[in-house]
Structure 1
C-alpha cells in the first residue's frame, strides 16, 4: 500500500488517524454520554446525502519516531491531499483524492474498492464488521450502528462537536467531529496509537442534494490488476 493510499485510508478504513489534545474552556459544561449520543444522532439524522470538497493533512506528534516508521514517511507529513467526497445513506460512500495524485475509495455498503490509476491497481474488500467500525460509519451508516460502535462524548453541551471512542479495539483511538452550517460536518480530527494526527476539513458542503446512483458503482478499467483482500 503506497503512501497516498495510507493517508486516504485514514477516513475510510481508520488506518492512520489521530486526535490532538484539544483545550476547552473551564466553564464549558460537558453533556452526559446519553445526552451526547442523543445530540449526535439528531445531528446526523437529517443527513440523507452529502457531498463536499476535502483537504486532509497528517502529522506526527513530537518525539513519535516509531510512528514515522510504521505510518507515513517524513516527506508525506504535513502534505495536504485534496479531493471530493460523496455520501448517500445507507452505506454508500465515495472518496476521491485529486491532488497531489489520484486515488478513489468507493463502496455501496457491501464491497469496498480502492483504486489507484497510476498503479493500474484496484484492491477489493468485503465490508465486514471490522471495516464497518470506521470513521466512514458516521457519515454513511445509521444511528444504531454508531451507538453500538462508539462511546460518544460532547465536551461542551452548547457546541456541536463530539469526541468518539471505539468500544472495540481498532485502528484508531478517538475521533472528533465538528458540525457547521446546515448541520453539516465541517471538520474531522482522528488519533491513533502511533502519534499520528489526521485532520480533514470539508468545504462547499451540500446536504441532501441529488447524487447519481452510478457514483457508487465501480468497474475496474480494462487492464487493472485486481487484488482481493
Structure 2
C-alpha cells in the first residue's frame, strides 16, 4: 500500500536556461509563498478548492534498474472545514496505461481497484495519513503548511527550460516513504503572487502552482509525475469521490494481506 501511495506524488528536474537580471529578484520565499497561499484558506479569492488534470508518471525501481510509465487523469478536492490542520483528502486517480487502475478516496475510505486482478484493496484513510511530511497523500492536503513540514531550498539548477522554478524539499521528520522531493513550480503563479503584493496587482486566471514533482525514497527508488491540462475550482462534488464497488469483485483489507 505504501508503494501505491508513494506513486501519488513526484517531481521532474529539467535543464536550466539563462535568466536576465529582472528575474533574479524573485526569492525562495516568493516561490514558497506562491505555493502555500492558495491552500492556507486566508484569502477566498486566491484559494484553490479543487483541481483536475491529466498526468504522466514514471517510476524507477533501483534494485531492478527498470522504469515503468503510466498515464491517466486525476481529480482532487481540498477540504479545510474540519480543523485548522485540514480534513482528510478526497481524490480520484484513474490510470489508463500501462493497465487500468483506480485509486479513490472519499475522505474516510481509500479504495485501490485493480480490474485485471478483479480485486479492490480497501482501507481507512486515517491509517495512511498520520504524518504530513511522511505521507504523499497527506502532503497534498498540507500544501498550506509546506514550509512547516519540509526544509525547502533551491534545487541545482533552480529553473527549467521554460523558466519555471525548481525546489528541493526534505521532510523535517524521518520518513519511510520520502527521503527527498523535487518540485517544479509554475512561474506564472509566482509572478501573479508578487503582483498581488503590490497596490496595483491584478490576478490573472487562477492556476495550480505545481507542474510536477519527483519523490525519492530511502531505497533509491523514484517516481515522477507531470501534470498537464490542469483546471482548478471546477466545483467538484463530494459524490464524485464515491467508489461504486463492481459486482463480484474481491475486497481485500491491508490487515488480511501477508507482509503488509
Output the TM-score relative to the length of structure 1. 0.73
Give the direction of change, closer, same or farther, for the CA distance of 1:220–1:54 in structure 2 (3 Å limit).
same
Offset of residue 214 of structure 1 = 2.1
Give the direction of change, closer, same or farther, for the CA distance of 1:55–1:131 in structure 2 (3 Å limit).
farther
Give the direction of change, closer, same or farther, for the CA distance of 1:110–1:24 in structure 2 (3 Å limit).
farther
CA contact (8 A) 2:73 2:94 kept: yes
Offset of residue 21 of structure 1 = 10
2:10 is equivalent to residue 9 of structure 1: no
Structure 1 outlier segments of 4+, above 6 Å:
17-25, 27-30
Offset of residue 89 of structure 1 = 0.7
- 1:66-145 aligned at under 5 Å gives the runs 67-68=62-63, 73=64, 77-90=66-79, 91-128=89-126, 129-130=129-130, 132=132, 133-141=134-142, 143-144=144-145
Query: Structure 1 stretches of 5 or more lacking a match?
Result: 61-66
Partner of 2:181: 175
Offset of residue 78 of structure 1 = 3.0
How many correspondences in the alignment?
Answer: 208
Query: Structure 2 stretches of 5 or more lacking a match?
Result: 41-46, 80-88, 189-205, 255-260
CA–CA distance in 2 between the matches of 1:131 and 1:110?
Answer: 16
Secondary structure at the residue paired with 1:183?
coil
Secondary structure at the residue paired with 2:76?
strand
CA contact (8 A) 1:56 1:200 kept: yes
Offset of residue 141 of structure 1 = 3.8
CA–CA distance in 1 between the matches of 2:141 and 2:14?
Answer: 27
CA contact (8 A) 2:121 2:253 kept: yes
Partner of 1:57: 58
Secondary structure at the residue paired with 2:6?
helix
CA–CA distance in 1 between the matches of 2:171 and 2:59?
Answer: 20
